[in-house]
């Protein structure tokens, strides 16, 4: 992580865990993605079927149990606990934290931030 953070520019994904604190300190902008639940569920189901028919690779064979788990445990858990945990971890950096619903908005914010 230190090697990445020493570069002039970088993007770190999934740094919502405690090991990401250093990246939060050094970041110009912290984006927190929060697509709506229907979008996330659609993506989970689409990925499930695409992996089952071999259009996408996955590290393990997807089962209907996995699908249930992804939709009703992980996805719901993100709304109930995960998102608030991420907000807590980034609370001291709230001045540079931006919560967005889709990745297209990231481009808009980056262009605004670095054009001024």
SS (H, E, C) 44-86: HHHHHHHHHCCCCCCCCCCCHHHHHHHHHHHHHHHHHHHHHHH
Tens digits of residue pLDDT in 83-112: 898 899 899 999 999 999 888 888 888 888
- Which pLDDT value is given to residue 17? 66
Conformational region of residue 70, where left means phi above 0, alpha means psi within -120 to 50, and beta covers everything else: alpha
- Cα gap 85→15, rounded to integer Å: 12
Which residue from 70, 26, 27 is spatially nearest to 45, judged by alpha carbons? Answer: 70
Is residue 22 predicted with pLDDT exceeding 70? yes
- Which pLDDT value is given to residue 18? 67
- Which pLDDT value is given to residue 38? 93
- Which pLDDT value is given to residue 68? 93
Is residue 58 predicted with pLDDT exceeding 80? no
**pLDDT grade for 3, boundaries at 50, 70 and 90:** confident
Rounded to 5°, the CA angle 96-16-41 comes to: 105
């Amino acid at each position: 992580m230190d090697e990445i953070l020493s570069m002039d520019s970088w993007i770190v994904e999934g740094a919502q865990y405690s090991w990401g604190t250093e990246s939060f300190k050094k970041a110009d902008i912290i984006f927190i993605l929060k697509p709506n639940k229907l979008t996330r569920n659609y993506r989970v189901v689409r990925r499930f079927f695409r992996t089952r028919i071999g259009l996408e690779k996955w590290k393990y064979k997807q089962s209907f149990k996995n699908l249930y788990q992804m939709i009703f445990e992980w996805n719901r858990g993100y709304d109930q606990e995960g998102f608030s945990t991420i907000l807590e971890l980034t609370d001291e950096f709230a001045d540079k934290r931006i919560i967005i619903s889709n990745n297209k908005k990231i481009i808009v914010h980056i262009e605004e931030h670095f054009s001024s």
